[in-house]
C-alpha cells in the first residue's frame, strides 16, 4: 500500500506496547503485564478493551523476545486476533516496530497504548480517536492536582513549580498513521532514542497534539501495590452471578485385533484393541468434548482433525490437557469430571484408582473431584455383543461470574 491509501473500513490500528520487563512490580508471574488481576493477566484485560471496541481494526502487540509463551497463555483465544512482533530495547523502539508491522494494513489513524493500563474505557478511546486529524495527534491527559516541588542536588526543596497548564499524560495516544511512522523512522535513523512517549516524538517532529480529557481510572500499573490494588478492584468491584457450566461428551470406538486397550489414560491388557486415529481412548475423547463444551470451543475434531497425520497414534491425554488449558485461559476452574465407560469387557473396576490418578494429573484437580464408573449394555446392541466400547463424560466448570446489568 502507498502512504496515501487507507483501510476501506475506516478502522483504527492499535499498537500495544508490552515488551518491558517491569521489575518494579515484582516477578511472581513474569513481567507486570503478565501478572494476574481479577483472575486474568493484566494484558488480557487490556487486549479485551481494544478488541471489543467497534472502531478498532488491526491490533499489533510488541512483546519481549522471551515472552511468546507467556503472551499466548495470557491472551488465550485473543492471541489469534492480534499480530505479535518482537519489541526493541526501549519503548520507542517497540512502538516503531509495531508501526512498521501495520504498514500493509495502512490504517488512517493509529493508537499507541501501554499494556499495563488495563482500565482504559471505550469513552476515552472514542475521545482520542475523534481528536485525531490529518496532521494532528491526540493525547489523553489529566491536569496535575498535586503541588510540585523541584529538588536540589542536596535533596532539599529548591523551588515550588507552578502546576498551571501541566498535565499528566496517559495512553492511548492517537495520531495519523503515516506522519507518526515517518517521525519514528526519522528519529531512528538520526539515533534519537530519548523519547518516553509518542507525544514527545510528535512534538519533536512538529506534529501538533491536542489534549483530550483523560480518565482517573486509566492508571498505569507500575509497582507491586498497583497490581494488588487492581486485583482487589476487579475481584470485589461488583457482586457477580455464579457462572457454572456443564458440558457433555460422547464417544464410541469399535474393537480390532490387538493386545490391549487404553481407557482414561491407563493401559489395560486385553485380547483386542480399540480402533481409532490416536490411541482411541474413548473415555478421554468424551471428556475432551465435555470440557470444550463448557466454553463453546467446538469439539475434539475441531482441534485435532483425524485427517491430520500428526495425531496418528498419539496419547489422548494431549487432547484433554489442551481442552483444560483453554478452560483455564478463560478463567475457568474445573469443578469435577465424571466419565462412564460402557462395555461388556474388559473390567474397569481394578483400574479405577489408576484412571483417577491419571485424570487428576491431566486436569490438575483432586481425586475427589473425579468420578469414573463402568456399566454393561446388558448384552443389547453392538456394545452388548462386545463389538466396542462407548463413553459418556460430564464436566462442570466454574467461570468468572457475570456482572449484573
pLDDT at 210 over 60: yes
pLDDT at 237 over 70: no
Q: Which residue has the higher pLDDT, 224 or 181?
A: 181
pLDDT at 257 over 80: yes
Q: What is the pTM of this model?
A: 0.59
pLDDT of amino acid 359: 96
C-alpha grid cell, residue 123: 469513552
pLDDT tens digits along 367-400: 999 999 999 998 999 998 989 999 999 999 998 7
pLDDT at 144 over 80: yes
CA–CA distance, 359 with 341 (Å, rounded to integer) = 14
pLDDT at 111 over 70: yes
In this structure, are residues 60 and 85 in contact, taking their beta carbons and an 8 Å threshold? yes
- Run of H or E residues at 340: strand 333-342
Q: What is the largest CA-CA distance in the chain?
A: 94
pLDDT at 3 over 60: no
Burial of 69 (0-12, 13-18, 19+ CB in 10 A): exposed
pLDDT at 213 over 60: yes
Residue closest to 266 by CA, chosen among 327, 336, 347, 334: 347
Confidence class of residue 307 from pLDDT cuts 50, 70 and 90? confident
Q: Give the C-alpha distances (Å, rounded to integers) separating 158 from 21, 151, 152, 154, 200.
A: 33, 5, 5, 9, 26
CA–CA distance, 55 with 302 (Å, rounded to integer) = 31
Q: Which parts of 103-240 are beta strand (E)? A: 109-114, 137-143, 148-151, 157-161, 167-169, 173-176, 209-213
pLDDT of amino acid 35: 93
pLDDT tens digits along 319-354: 999 999 999 988 899 999 999 999 999 999 999 999
CA–CA distance, 255 with 275 (Å, rounded to integer) = 6
Please say whether the dihedral angle defined by the alpha carbons of residues 169, 174, 176 and 181, taken in this order, is positive or negative.
positive
C-alpha grid cell, residue 18: 508490552
Peptide bond between residue 172 and the one before it cis (omega within 30 degrees of 0): yes
pLDDT of amino acid 1: 41
pLDDT of amino acid 27: 56
CA–CA distance, 63 with 67 (Å, rounded to integer) = 6
Q: What percent of the chain stands above pLDDT 70?
A: 93
Number of other CB atoms surrounding residue 239 within 10 Å: 8
Strand 260-263 versus strand 209-213 pairing type = unpaired
pLDDT at 404 over 50: no
pLDDT at 26 over 70: no
pLDDT at 29 over 80: no
CA–CA distance, 114 with 247 (Å, rounded to integer) = 37
- Run of H or E residues at 11: none
Please say whether the dihedral angle defined by the alpha carbons of residues 181, 186, 191 and 196, taken in this order, is positive or negative.
negative
CA–CA distance, 399 with 329 (Å, rounded to integer) = 10
Q: Which residue has the higher pLDDT, 102 or 277?
A: 102
Average pLDDT over the chain reads: 91
Mean pLDDT on 91-104: 97
Q: Give the C-alpha distances (Å, rounded to integers) separating 349 from 55, 125, 358.
A: 58, 59, 15
pLDDT at 296 over 60: yes
pLDDT of amino acid 28: 58
Mean pLDDT on 230-252: 82
Q: Which residue has the higher pLDDT, 10 or 211?
A: 211
Amino acid at each position: 500500500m502507498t502512504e496515501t491509501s487507507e483501510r476501506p473500513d475506516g478502522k483504527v490500528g492499535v499498537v500495544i506496547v508490552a515488551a518491558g520487563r517491569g521489575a518494579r512490580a515484582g516477578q511472581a508471574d513474569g513481567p507486570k503485564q503478565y501478572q494476574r488481576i481479577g483472575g486474568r493477566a493484566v494484558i488480557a484485560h487490556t487486549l479485551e478493551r481494544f478488541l471489543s471496541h467497534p472502531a478498532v481494526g488491526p491490533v499489533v502487540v510488541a512483546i519481549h523476545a522471551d515472552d511468546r509463551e507467556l503472551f499466548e497463555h495470557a491472551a488465550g483465544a485473543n492471541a489469534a486476533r492480534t499480530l505479535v512482533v518482537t519489541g526493541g530495547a526501549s519503548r520507542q523502539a517497540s512502538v516503531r516496530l509495531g508501526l512498521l508491522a501495520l504498514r500493509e494494513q495502512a490504517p488512517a489513524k493509529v493508537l499507541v497504548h501501554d499494556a499495563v493500563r488495563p482500565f482504559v474505557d471505550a469513552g476515552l478511546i472514542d475521545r482520542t480517536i475523534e481528536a485525531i486529524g490529518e496532521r494532528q495527534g491526540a493525547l489523553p491527559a489529566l491536569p496535575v492536582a498535586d503541588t510540585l516541588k523541584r529538588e536540589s542536588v542536596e535533596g532539599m526543596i529548591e523551588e515550588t513549580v507552578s502546576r498551571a497548564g501541566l498535565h499528566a499524560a496517559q495512553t492511548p495516544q492517537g495520531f495519523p498513521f503515516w506522519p507518526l511512522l515517518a517521525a519514528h523512522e526519522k528519529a531512528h535513523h538520526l539515533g534519537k532514542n530519548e523519547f518516553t512517549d509518542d507525544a514527545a516524538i510528535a512534538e519533536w517532529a512538529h506534529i501538533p497534539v491536542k489534549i483530550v480529557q483523560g480518565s482517573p481510572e486509566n492508571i498505569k500499573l507500575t509497582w507491586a501495590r498497583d497490581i494488588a490494588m487492581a486485583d482487589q478492584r476487579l475481584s470485589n468491584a461488583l457482586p457477580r452471578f455464579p457462572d457454572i457450566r456443564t458440558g457433555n461428551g460422547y464417544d464410541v470406538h469399535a474393537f480390532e485385533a490387538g493386545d490391549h486397550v487404553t481407557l482414561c489414560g491407563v493401559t489395560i491388557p486385553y485380547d483386542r484393541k480399540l480402533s481409532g486415529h490416536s490411541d482411541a481412548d474413548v473415555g478421554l475423547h468424551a471428556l475432551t468434548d465435555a470440557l470444550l463444551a463448557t466454553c463453546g470451543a467446538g469439539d475434539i475434531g475441531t482441534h485435532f482433525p483425524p485427517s491430520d497425520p500428526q495425531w496418528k497414534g498419539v496419547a489422548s491425554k494431549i487432547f484433554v490437557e489442551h481442552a483444560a488449558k483453554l478452560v483455564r485461559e478463560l478463567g475457568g476452574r474445573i469443578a469435577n469430571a465424571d466419565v462412564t465407560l460402557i462395555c461388556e469387557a474388559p473390567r474397569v473396576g481394578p483400574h479405577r484408582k489408576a484412571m483417577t490418578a491419571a485424570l487428576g494429573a491431566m486436569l490438575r484437580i483432586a481425586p475427589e473431584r473425579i468420578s469414573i464408573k463402568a456399566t454393561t449394555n446388558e448384552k443389547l446392541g453392538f456394545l452388548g455383543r462386545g463389538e466396542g466400547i462407548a463413553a459418556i463424560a460430564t464436566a462442570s466448570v466454574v467461570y468468572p461470574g457475570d456482572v449484573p446489568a
